[in-house]
Structure 1
């Protein structure tokens, strides 16, 4: 390293240009008079005395009188340790810059864009561990293995867990083994993104591995999550065959989605049967929790007048979807996620009996 380069580094370490020049000159001279140091370092004569005193105060040199002011390098270990400490701090700063770059760095409201899959995956695991109501996830078999403990814990807490699995069919776990991790699973043979939706508000998304774009999205917002919910339902769930289901086939049957419940209940009502149900949700006017039991007397949805027997997908119920339930306190109109027209937004509906 040249003297100029060394001076530049010392300046980055906190010395002024004159202090760095004088110190490098003194390293070469060993010990010298102030005048000799000034001539060697090109520090102006009137300034050299102040420069040496400042270096002495900082512990870099020590001065002494010998007919005129002289200086020599002070405790070298102390100096090199100080420089090494600064180097460590710069190294730490470099790591911190990289770490902060990899953290969510573009934020709009509650939507964050990140550059590392691991960041999204770790957030997804934390969201699953805190889930209380519903999880919808699109995973490879490898991602399922990594999230299995968190999913199993959520299922034990009574969370409705739905898995859309993709990848090679031969890599799928057996349907029986999935009973530990989910309420229901479906298999999609096509490539799919990493998606985890939790409790109708938290979303973790990464494009599938074949995408040219490498980024991830973390969202904690009901409106954005609702859009991805429909992507999950229409593209990753409803059109694919059931691979495993732990759902009961006889009452009581619990639904985490109102539209699925409506689809199952409509033919029962059409056949003249009595359907008793209990509802957990919240009042749309106040946001307060509510629960009640009653008899389903009607179902209303946007495409009802044009419905045909072949309309079996959930897309037929994509508009307004309402269950009318007769309770001891009168009729209640119950909607699903994002309900605005109804007085109740249901989070869980249980069909208690069909008579």
Structure 2
């Protein structure tokens, strides 16, 4: 660093131009008369005494009499410590500016728009770590390794994890043994896709795919808005794509997080005369309190279709989808996500037995 750069840095640290110039002159001269310091710097002779006294007040120099007024550098440790402290504050401020830019604090609103993809990823990871019942996640293989530990922890805690992976070559997909450690079910999507994470039917983290013109993200903390993203996930990221792993079979107990998949399996059994017993874990649609009921499925309620057995995709179940379950309390109507007219909104459905 040359002399002018050092003076500029000292000015940034709070010294005036004359004070910075005079202090550098004192450092170069060691101990010197005030007039010599003035000659070495750009400080006028008539100002040098005031400038040196100001530097003494700041703790940079020491003034003493020896035939004339002399000055020498004073307490370098204090000066260096002060500069290092200022440098650390600048570094901390730079980090804080970056954090506030990339991770704006979410206000008490249902939907927030953020600038950086990284913000979306961090919020998704945090939400997955706090998941209680269900995670729906669509991402590419570039981000799979980052999320795998959080997914594995959620799965180990009993969370149902539906994982949609997209990559150009299916040979790059994790094998079944690895997928078994991170998800309940996995599907392979060939096409590039947005990043979307839906957690516990309440939170959504969304960002367009890498080829999008603008980089932004959407963070949702609201059941109604999240329901829209849930259908986006089902219809574009999940239902129409190839299953590459599933921790399910036809032997009870069989668990479902979505009533539509349960109905899709149960309806043919009922039409064949089977007796299907289920356990419903959900919430009372009037009070919001948790409800757990066991019973036998009496019937399935479907609207907007004349031939429910012909429905091959979940996207076809766009109207009411509900179960009528005979319990000790009498028949109870059980709906899915967002249920309003049924008595219970199902969060987890388990087929306990199938009696043919």
State the Cα distance separating 1:233 from its structure 2 match.
0.5
State the Cα distance separating 1:238 from its structure 2 match.
1.0
In structure 1, how many angstroms separate the alpha carbons of the residues matched to 2:146 and 2:77?
Answer: 49
The answer to whether the 8 Å contact 1:21/1:43 transfers is no
State the Cα distance separating 1:209 from its structure 2 match.
2.6
Q: Which residue of the partner structure matches residue 64 of structure 2?
A: 64
| Residue correspondence of structure 1 range 15-94 to structure 2 within 5 A | 15-16=15-16, 19-20=19-20, 22-23=22-23, 31-33=32-34, 37=38, 41-42=43-44, 51-65=51-65, 69-76=69-76, 78-94=78-94
Q: Which residue of the partner structure matches residue 257 of structure 2?
A: 256
SS at match of 1:41: coil
Work out whether 1:162 is the aligned partner of 2:162: yes
Q: Which residue of the partner structure matches residue 227 of structure 1?
A: 228
TM-score by length of 1: 0.83
Q: CA 1:65 to 1:122, structure 2 compared with 1: closer, same or farther past 3 Å?
A: same
Q: Which residue of the partner structure matches residue 329 of structure 1?
A: 329
Work out whether 1:133 is the aligned partner of 2:151: no
State the Cα distance separating 1:103 from its structure 2 match.
2.3
The answer to whether the 8 Å contact 2:133/2:158 transfers is yes
Which deviates the most, 30-39 or 221-230? 30-39
The answer to whether the 8 Å contact 2:268/2:309 transfers is no
The answer to whether the 8 Å contact 1:164/1:188 transfers is yes
Q: Which residue of the partner structure matches residue 281 of structure 1?
A: 282
The answer to whether the 8 Å contact 2:283/2:290 transfers is yes
In structure 1, how many angstroms separate the alpha carbons of the residues matched to 2:178 and 2:82?
Answer: 59
State the Cα distance separating 1:234 from its structure 2 match.
0.7
Deviation digits for residues 209-231 of structure 1, max 9, x if unmatched? 33233334443332332221111
In structure 1, how many angstroms separate the alpha carbons of the residues matched to 2:26 and 2:247?
Answer: 81
State the Cα distance separating 1:347 from its structure 2 match.
0.6
State the Cα distance separating 1:111 from its structure 2 match.
4.1
State the Cα distance separating 1:236 from its structure 2 match.
0.9
Q: CA 1:27 to 1:243, structure 2 compared with 1: closer, same or farther past 3 Å?
A: closer
Q: Which residue of the partner structure matches residue 341 of structure 2?
A: 341
Q: CA 1:81 to 1:334, structure 2 compared with 1: closer, same or farther past 3 Å?
A: same
Moved over 6 A (4+): 1-5
Work out whether 1:184 is the aligned partner of 2:185: yes
Aligned length: 352
Q: CA 1:141 to 1:3, structure 2 compared with 1: closer, same or farther past 3 Å?
A: closer
State the Cα distance separating 1:191 from its structure 2 match.
1.4
Q: CA 1:344 to 1:61, structure 2 compared with 1: closer, same or farther past 3 Å?
A: same
State the Cα distance separating 1:98 from its structure 2 match.
2.6
Q: CA 1:43 to 1:127, structure 2 compared with 1: closer, same or farther past 3 Å?
A: farther
Q: Which runs of 5+ in 2 are unaligned?
A: none
SS at match of 1:209: coil
In structure 1, how many angstroms separate the alpha carbons of the residues matched to 2:180 and 2:80?
Answer: 62
Q: Which residue of the partner structure matches residue 148 of structure 2?
A: 148
Q: CA 1:130 to 1:78, structure 2 compared with 1: closer, same or farther past 3 Å?
A: closer
In structure 1, how many angstroms separate the alpha carbons of the residues matched to 2:179 and 2:74?
Answer: 71
Q: Which residue of the partner structure matches residue 295 of structure 1?
A: 296
State the Cα distance separating 1:244 from its structure 2 match.
2.2
Q: Which runs of 5+ in 1 are unaligned?
A: none
Q: CA 1:40 to 1:118, structure 2 compared with 1: closer, same or farther past 3 Å?
A: closer
